[in-house]
Amino acid sequence: MDKLSLLYASALYDLASSKDAVAGFLDQAVLMRDSLKDPDCQRILVHPHITTNEKREFFTKVFGSDIDKDLLAFLFLVVDKNRETFIMTALDALISMIERSMRKVTAEVYFAAAIDDKQLAAMKDLLSEKLDKQVEVSVNVDPSVIGGPYIFVDGYYLDWTVKKRLRDLTVQMKEGCSA
């Protein structure tokens, strides 16, 4: 992550902390990030023929009453300085900072097939207990894992898939045969 995005994110985090509005900033930053991921929004942000005022109007129409005035001011500042490319990375950094401070993490979990709500809740509870943090789970389907999950969470990678076990078994068998 670039230095400027971290500076923006740190300033926004400090501002949220001073206003005792960290949780609100988290929800609003997620809303902004998810909305601005849209390809049409991205085109508006980086289009050279859309003026600064038009971009400001766009932000006001899209987010005006839904986000804190300081977050809207951040968007205006970035547009005024012609640094639109830093918005997404700054929002990602801000979200990470806030989630860390609130002991929240998101786990990316991959299964061979979709899981039901009961299994999702059990996975969430298990990860929350093991990590001693509030865990949100994002479930993805990857049929190549054959069975069992692999998980990316809080800087860790856990692989309990059948695919990995078969790969490990193959390596062990090759090593055993060559001895």
- Return the CATH fold of 3-100: Peroxidase; domain 1 (1.10.520)
Q: Are 36 and 88 in contact (CB under 8 A)?
A: yes
Q: Where are the domains of the chain?
A: 3-100, 103-178
pLDDT bracket for residue 178 (50, 70, 90) = low
Average pLDDT over residues 16-31: 92
Model pTM score: 0.69
- pLDDT band with cut points at 50, 70 and 90 for residue 65: confident
| CA dist., res. 158 & res. 149, Å (int) | 8
- For residue 164, is it left (φ>0), alpha (ψ between -120 and 50) or beta? alpha
On the CB side of 76, CA atoms within 13 Å amount to 14
Instruction: State pLDDT tens for residues 96-134.
Output: 999 888 888 889 999 989 999 999 999 899 999 988 898
pLDDT tens for residues 161-173? 888 888 888 888 8
Q: 87: helix, coil or strand?
A: helix
- Residue 90 corresponds to which tokens in the numbers above? 């700054």
Which residue did the predictor score with more confidence, 1 or 6? 6
Query: What residue type is assigned to position 58 of the chain?
Result: F
Chain segment 70-79, per-residue pLDDT in tens: 999 999 999 9
pLDDT at 62 over 80: yes
- Beta bridge pairs of residue 139: 109
Of residues 147 and 9, more confidence is placed in 9
Instruction: Give residue 179's Cα distance to chain centre.
Output: 47
Give the start-end residues of each E strand in 91-172.
Answer: 104-111, 134-141, 150-153, 156-159
Strands (DSSP E) found in the chain:
104-111, 134-141, 150-153, 156-159
Q: Is residue 58 over pLDDT 90?
A: yes
Domain 103-178 falls under CATH 3.40.30: yes
CB 120 within 8 Å of CB 150: no
Q: What does the mean pLDDT of the chain come to?
A: 90
Closest CA to 32 of 10, 63, 55: 63
